[in-house]
Chain A
Amino acid sequence: EADIYQTPRYLVIGTGKKITLECSQTMGHDKMYWYQQDPGMELHLIHYSYGVNSTEKGDLSSESTVSRIRTEHFPLTLESARPSHTSQYLCASSELGAGGYTFGSGTRLTVV
């Protein structure tokens, strides 16, 4: 079934560790996004991509980085995790010109 998949679902790591949150979609969408969201709160755009080798920073300043080497894959990396990074990270994708986003199930990150 075409969908957008995020792994891991939950992650607890120590301060200073490097982590990569995975996001893959099988819908053939060109556009992909990363949002940071505290549970039930605002969605903050941190990165987006309009296609392969295209990445842009979003509205919320973030210490993370992203890459888009393949259409279906849009991983997010934190080089050195801090407790302030504790949050839920949602990946989404959309088709150019279509408007609506499909969200992944999210990764709930806790940095201790």
Chain B
Amino acid sequence: GENVEQHPSTLSVQEGDSAVIKCTYSDSASNYFPWYKQELGKRPQLIIDIRSNVGEKKDQRIAVTLNKTAKHFSLHITETQPEDSAVYFCAALFTNFGNEKLTFGTGTRLTIIP
């Protein structure tokens, strides 16, 4: 079945440094890869996504890269700030007999050290 692996499970980064979270997926037909940020006590929120027809997408300090051949994608946060502390989830869209749903990674708890 579909599978998304996410690493690392926890990550501590000094404020101002960069953070990278990596995910791999199993279904080569997947074509949509969103990232969600969940702050303590709040709902997961979409922060950036990428479709399979591009290799990289940026939005200010956040970027996502996709390597379809290797079936992996990564989230890059530059110039980290305390408000970046949260749990981050990657996901991949799988299609089964015309029905599509996201499979989520297991999450990365990112802590920014002031």
Contact = CB atoms under 8 A, between A and B. Distances in A.
A99 B89 CA distance: 15
A34 interface: no
A40 B38 contact: yes
**Dominant SS among interface residues on chain A:** loop
Interface of B: 32, 34, 36, 38, 40-46, 49, 51, 87, 89, 93, 99-102, 104, 106-107, 109
Interface in A2-56: 31, 33, 39-43, 45, 48, 50
Contact of A90 (B43, B49, B93, B101): B43
Given A40-B107, A40-B109, A41-B107, A103 B45 contact: yes
Given A100-B34, A100-B46, 9 more contacts: A40-B87, A41-B107, A50-B99, A97-B100, A99-B49, A99-B93, A99-B100, A101-B46, A101-B102
A48 B44 contact: no
9 tightest A-B CB contacts, nearest first: A99-B32, A103-B43, A43-B104, A42-B106, A40-B87, A103-B44, A105-B43, A100-B46, A99-B93
